[in-house]
Amino acid sequence: MLRVRNTPSSQTVTFKGPVSTTSKLKHREEIECRIDSAETMIRILEEVGFKIGIEYSKYRTVFEGKGFNISLDETEAGNYLEVEGPSEEEITELGKKLGYSEQDFVRRTYAELIGKPHSLKETQHDE
């Protein structure tokens, strides 16, 4: 999947690999680079045969500390915490401290949660 992201602070294109089947968390390879223009990148991708699968907006509030990056995402599919950290074990332990069990972990993409095909374009509003 390719994602073109347009935020107030940057514009990027990201390759997102498949979600790992061996992890209890949603883990996948991501290769990302900054671009000058999201609209130009979308046009280039369309010219070589890609089509926009889904377009959505989300509001993201980011918290950082103790080796973790926690994002509160508000989307049309609902509100979600995305946690990045040093290891799966430490992420799972932090989840428990926050009152979540492994059954609460979501491995689906926002496109799947919204019920539409995978995305090419995403607009994000950072706080």
Give tens-digit pLDDT for 70-103.
999 999 889 999 999 999 999 999 999 999 998 9
pLDDT at 47: 97
pTM reported for the whole predicted model: 0.76
Between 63 and 107, residue with greater pLDDT: 63
Q: How many domains does the chain have?
A: 1
Helix (H) or strand (E) holding 9: none
CATH code where residue 119 lies: 2.40.320.10
Rg (CA), the chain: 15
Domain that holds residue 116: 2-126
pLDDT at 113: 87
